[in-house]
Structure formats: C-alpha cells, structure tokens
Amino acid sequence: MSGDDKSQPTTKLLTGMLILLMAVGGLVGLICSASDSITPGATPSGLWWGLVALFGAFLLTGVVWVVTGIRALFLPTSLIYRMTDLPSWFERFPRVH
C-alpha cells in the first residue's frame, strides 16, 4: 500500500469498517463450518488455511484503513487521534541499552 493514495479519509474509514465486518463474518463462518465438517483428529486442508490467510489479510487491511481514516478525520489533540498514534506509543516504553 502506498502513502500517496488520494481517497477521502471518510471513504477510507467507512470502507475499512466494511472490510473489517466482512472479514470477521467470513472468519466466523469459516470456523463454524470447519467445526461441523472436520472430524476430531483430522487436520484442516490447505484450502481452509488459505482462506484463513486471505481473511486475515482482509482484516489487516481493514484495520489499517480505519486507523488511517481516524487519523485524518480527528484533530491531533483528540483522544481518539492519540490512541491511534503508534509511534508515540512506542516512545513511552523505556529503551534498553
């Protein structure tokens, strides 16, 4: 994903929320269907793991877009903006030399 995307922050926020909802729904449906079809002691197939990886990638994309949308919409002094500011979170941890 490149940082020179010209889409509106609101569009990214709403699209990210939609991607998150669909990814979570897909993962829940996949897990529920797997619990019915996989017999005890059997391992899931490669297709199942591929779908888990695909939904995981969608989940990560949705989170990134939601955080990007939040950071673009809110003022830097707001609590929500500061909660999504990851570099400042890491600066709070003490550095070990």
Confidence class of residue 41 from pLDDT cuts 50, 70 and 90? Answer: low
Residue 7: predicted pLDDT: 73
Whole-prediction pTM? 0.70
42-92 residue pLDDT tens = 667 788 889 899 999 999 999 989 988 888 888 888 888 888 777 777 777
Q: Average pLDDT in the 25-53 region?
A: 80
Residue 48's pLDDT is what? 81
Domain limits, the chain: 9-91
> Quick check: 80 and 70 in contact, CB under 8 A?
yes
Q: Which own/partner pairs from 84-93 qualify as long-range (CB within 8 Å, at least 24 positions apart)?
A: none
